[in-house]
Amino acid sequence: MEELMEMVATYMGSATKDEYEEIAKTIRHDLVFSEYGQEIENYIRYIPNTADICRTCGEGFPSQVYLVCTNTGELYDLDLFEKGANPDAGEYGYMSMSFGYDEVSQTSLHITKTPENKEGTVTVQRGRGIVSVQRMKSLFCDDCIREMLETVENQLVEEFVIFDAEGQKFYAVDDGSVQIGDYELQVEYDEGDYEIEVRYAK
């Protein structure tokens, strides 16, 4: 695979447009992000985008914070309260648990929300850590793909990104904290898995 990608990178530098299409076709079935290193722009340009609607574009998302699976386009809602609710006045929903799985990377998610305590936890159990650019091309627009790939570049977790739906910004799942809207996310690494603590911090 690595040899093939080197070959492709070399071709990309000198090929005509028709040749690019031929090369892209050959490798498209198993094009994997972590294999292509510095060539983000080439793959964005030469693999056709077939997404009718981009999952992370536009306005009017019902929640502020999501975890986005780059392989499936699934958006996992991390908000603890409905938009406009007033948690300080006791307006919160019920405790909830949900589960997610990405068969490409074999990563699974467990999301537990305890609105009463104004907190939630996401456990990210990682598998092969693979990102398929071909799949992304059928789920997101090229601008979002570029931003997502640049965000996860050189990060351990590439198959999920944290998404600020109002600010249209992406953040890597990496050690540290980030404030998005009314929520503070604290990411911790623990023996191969990641844990994201979500706290209401308005």
Cα–Cα distance list, 125 to 96, 136, 186 (Å): 19, 21, 16
Residue with tokens 């598998």: 127
Q: Least distance to Zn ion from the beta carbon of 10, Å?
A: 31
Closer residue to Zn ion (CB): 146 or 199: 146
**Closest distance to Zn ion from the beta carbon of 4 (Å):** 29
Considering the complex, state which of residue 101 and residue 171 has its C-beta at the smaller distance from Zn ion: 171
CB of 144 or CB of 198, closer to Zn ion? 144
> What region does 182 belong to: left with phi over 0, alpha with psi -120 to 50, or beta?
alpha
Report in angstroms how near the CB of residue 71 gets to Zn ion at its nearest.
Answer: 16
Question: Which one, 27 or 63, has the nearer CB to Zn ion?
Answer: 63
Q: Among 22, 81, 59, 100, which Cα is nearest to 202's?
A: 81
Query: Min. distance of Cβ 149 from Zn ion in angstroms?
Result: 13
Residue 175 CA to residue 135 CA, distance in Å, equals 27
For helices 2-14 and 17-27, angle between their N-to-C axes, nearest 10 degrees: 170
Residue by residue, DSSP assigns 94-124 as --EEEEEEETTTTEEEEEEEEGGGTEEEEEE
The nearer residue to Zn ion, 44 or 54, going by C-beta atoms, is 54
H or E stretch covering 144: helix 142-152
Binding site for Zn ion (CB under 5 A): 54, 57, 141, 144
- Output the smallest distance, CB 140 to Zn ion, in A: 5
